[in-house]
Structure 1
Amino acid sequence: MSAPADPISIENQWLRQRRYRPNAGLLRAVLGSLLVHALLLSLRFGGAQHGLPGLVFPWQERRGAVPDLRVVLQAAAPPAAAPVATEPVTPPAAVPRKANPAQSSAAPPPSPAPTQARVAPAAPPSSADGPPRVAPLAPELAASPSDAAGPQVRRQAAAARAEARARAAQARAGQRDDARRQAAQRAQAQRERSRQATLDAARAQAARAEADRADAERQAALQQQSAQREAAQRQAARAQAAEREAERLDILQRQAADEAATVALSAQREAARQQAAQAEAARREAERQAAEQQAAAQQQAERQEADRAQAARIEAEQRAAAQQDAVRETALKAEQERREAERNEAARQAAAQEAAAQDAAAQQALAREHDAWQAAARTLAATEQAAREQAALEQAAREDAERTAAARQQAAQQEAARQEAQQADAARQEAARQEAARQEAARAEIRRQAEARELASRQEAARAEAARQENERAEASRQEAARQAAERQAADRQDAARQEAARAEAARQAAAQQAAAEEAARRAAAQDAAARAAAEQRASTAQAAAAARDAEQRQADQRDAQAQAARAHEALREERLRAIGRQLNAEADQRAEAEAEAAARASPDLPSSWSNARRGRILGRGDPNERLRLYAETWSRKIELNMTFDEVRETVRQPHQPPIVTVAVRRDGSVESITFVRSSGVPAIDEAVRRIVQGQAHYPAFPPDLARDFDVVEIRRTWHFDMAVRLY
């Protein structure tokens, strides 16, 4: 027969099977745990048998109820009394222990012959004998005499253990009895205390009820007495009130008559004062309106004078610019005619292909000349006087240019190419300058109009401010008049009160025979009148203060609204100016690009040494060269952000126009030159601009990619001064 697996191997087997059947793992684990615990709990240690511990199952052990007995071991002898035969008992010690419980149950060894034990009946307990005594067992062994010694020793040991257990059980029983008695005593004491506390509480409750009843009776008596006293007092008070009411009505009638007279007199005085105040206010209003009209007329005259001066200056500048443009265009035409003749002469000497190219260039030049002539004609047609002067100057310049061209043609044929390149470059620069000047003039006109609108808005704001101040003054005067009227009314009321007090005092002295109660009533009436007068005065003062606060709040709201409107207008104006500047700069950039492309097409065969590629120019904020634009923006921000406005704060208050300045910056950040394309009209402002530019040097050096292409960068900006220096 194979040995069964131990519990650990069985559990391991179940764990292995769980991986294949996970649904039954929990049930098997519970069953295995229960089995293992049952086997462990079945082990018995410390038994009378020799050898290793073994399994003892519940059905193998007798579990009958055993009374508490005291067992005394005696020597083996025949029983003294009639024994009570018991059923044969197979002692557990007779069962041999095996290492394997399964083998023990499968092949049990032969047990010895059953023995019969006789147990003496338990004697009744007595006080002298103590606990009951149990007669010792007298087993009759059926075995041979040689096997009687071993079982006898075991029985004695078992009896000793049983006696020890019995004594321990008796001691525990005694302790339990003592504990029960003590618990009963404590419960009895607790019940006694509870009963006593209940009795005390009942007695205290009865005492409190009695005290409450006596207190209630006393309170009722007191309330009845107080009610009687109050009734008597109310009766006396009603009688006194009736007397005082009669006296008060009499006094009120006299006061009403006096007040009617006083009010009539006060009304007359107030009407006279109001008429005087109205006359004074009308006079002041007339003076203010006259002063405003005079100031407005003076301002209008100043504006007209400034407009006329500005128009005259602009017209003179336009006339001078037109004359200069006419002279330059005449010289340019003469020079172009001379260059055309030279190109024709060169074309006749060159090959046919070169001649064709020269002819094409000549046609393009003629087209450009025709366009320039049309533009000049449109410009000259602006004013009739300027056209006549320009025609005369054109004729003189043309004749002079023709003579000069003939002389130059005879003397400088070898330098023709170089002169042509230089003149072409100069023509491009001059055309660009003229175009920039025209654009700047247009921008100046736009700015002048914007400034005129701004000046008008400022004047309008000043007029509004003056009107507001006048309203404030009028409101203040009205408030002052109201306050004075309130003070006069208060003074009148105080006079009336004093007069009434004097009359009351006279009446009191005349009617000395009247009782003290009447005197007290008159004093009370006088105090009431004074209190009413003071209350009326306080009410009028509070009304005047409330009206003043309301007026101040309305004025503050008006000032806030005007300030917000001014800020919004200023922001709109700034945005409009920026948009105009951006548009003009973009147009100038486009025209400059077109002219540069046309010039490049006109002279594609010029040597690279004659070009000016190492000098960059940026005329506005928009430029196709991103590097130039970024460097110019950096330069402009340095000027704007370094608090340079303090240097010109007082100077820019003079009438001026925004100057246009070109600053040439070298590659190391130093300033090469400062050129005023258009002056501000105020030398101090021009000098301040020059100081600002020179004071902010050295500027950032060129980035490496910009330095590879340019040695000098010319930055043109329009300088505008408001609350700071702004470059457009």
Structure 2
Amino acid sequence: MQTAKDNEAPVRRPLPPLAAVLAYRWRPRGWLVSEPRRQTFAWSVSLLVHALVLSLTFGDGLDLPGLELPWKERRTEVPELRARLSPPPAPAAEAAPPASVSAPRPTPPAPPSAGALTVLDHAALQARRQEAQRQEALRQEAARREAQRAEAARQLAERRAAERRAAAQAAAAQREAARQARARELAAQQAAAREAAAREVAARAAAEQADTARQTAEREAAARQDAARVAADPQEAARQAAARQQAESELAAREATAAREAAEQVAAQRAEMERLEVERQAALRQASARAEAERVEAARQATARDAQQQQQQQEVERQEALRREAAQRAAEQAQQAEREATAREETARQEIARQEAARQESARQQAARAEAARAEAERLATEQLARERLEAQRQAEQAAQRLEAEQQAAAQREAARQAAERAEAERLAAEQQAAREAEQQAAEAARQAAQRDAAARQEAQRAAEAEAAQRAAERRANELAAAQQAAAQAQAQAQAQAQAQAEAARLEAEGQAAARAAAAAAAEAQATAQAEVARLQGEREAAARTEAARLQAERQAEDEAREERRRAIGRQLNEEADRRAAAEAEAQRNPSASGLRRVRLFGRYDPNRDLVLYAEAWAKRIEMNMPVELVREAARQRYTDPVVTVAIRSDGTIESVTLVRTSGVATIDEAIPRLVHGMAHTAFPPAMARQYDVIEIRRSWHFDVAVRLY
């Protein structure tokens, strides 16, 4: 009898999906599955790497492996470099130089005493200086060549180091590229293996699913058939049910066996994949370790090469420094000897130059004082000549004006004379016409001629009186006439006299003709005209002689005054020269006296530039601040340029104002000291205040449109 269990339908158990199978297949396994273990492993590796690097870097002092290479150690001691420079043979006049660099410096000879004066040959000094310059040029050339060689060696070492670094970098880059290529190939192989295993598992799972579906379809078909047969025959149905159960149990056993086989295959594949992954990781670690070792080795070799190059460079620099130091010591000793000799020569030369400069300065000061006195005399003479030329020009202008006025008066007189001549000619023509017309009209004509003669005489008298009045006015207005203008006037008067004589002769001829016609009237008119002409000519000649005598007297007086002024200037210059000579002699006799605290500036030149600038500024201040009323009042009067000496203290106050030469006008002489005392004057500059207490400035004052100090 069958149980209920036997009558139950078989249970359908679905297969797991492909994703679940793959996830189970590729689940992480091993010791590094947990996160704490991975962190511990990473920290351990990092500590080991850092310990290795520190041991390689700082392990020499602790007897640990380091980066020092055996060939970098110095097996022998480099001997100390000693350079000995022998100076060239000196001239015979010099002492022999020291034999070696290490020898003590020679003791410089004692300087000459203050009373002795050493005289050196200029040719020997020049030859010694040229020899020193040549030696210095040779030393500089040798130093320059040595520096060029050192620079070339340094550049060559740098180029070689750069080439080695470039080669090391290229080799490291090639090794890194090969390592990356191998890693990429290994990753590609592992990816291909993983893809092949995945495809195989997927194909197997698909086959299993197809087989399971087929079996399921067969079971369903068999179940339907069994159900049909059970419905037809119960016993057959029971038998078939038992057979079916047995088949199902067998199928379940087969499925379990297939599942175990599939699981074993999956486990084997997973184990293979894990083994491949472990191998890949090991290969990657080995490649990384090899690459790191190669990088460390390349870095160590590069560091070793750099250290070796640096040591070589330092050795070259040390030797170069030793050579430079030896050359510098030798050059310093040679320069010291040369400086000592040059100092001795320079001391002697300076002593000679000082004495020569003192002598030249004394001569220059004497020449400057003489030149200043001469320049002052020339300036005064030039000013006097300029004033004389201005006065002569003014007199010439006045004479020209007077001559022009006389010419205008002569022209007026000539016009009046021509009018009189025309009237006389008309009268004579009328008389001749009357004589020709009738004899009986002679009496009437004589009467008319007498009237006309009387009118002419009156007209001539009025013209003579007017001319005399005009001549007197001109004589009063033009008192200062030059000799040349007087001569020109005399010549003009002579020409006028000649013209008058010619005119008188013509009139005389006409008068004779008229006398033949008119008898006594013509003779009387002619006599009157001749007398008037003679009188006028005599007056002109007398006036010319008087004017010439007056001009000559004025010219002589001016010449005498000019000579007197020049003699006074000469006497003044001589007195000043005597006073300066006496002051210099007194200063030489008594050097302790404070004669330098007072200085005199009598011109515009002095060796002390600050003194000249101060005097010029003071003169400009006087010229700019002088009152206009005083200048105008002085310009309207006849005066002589006054010479004034002003003594100024260091604080800008006035000590005294002295009139060396007066102007001849009391108003000007009194106003100059008052104005100088009333102005504010600047104090001395600090440099001048340390040298002088009082400055005496002497200038010549000239007034025209403004005041000018010369």
Greater relative CO, 1 or 2 (CA 8 Å, sep 6+): 2
* Greater Rg by CA: 2
TM-score w.r.t. the length of structure 2 is 0.27
Higher helix share: 2
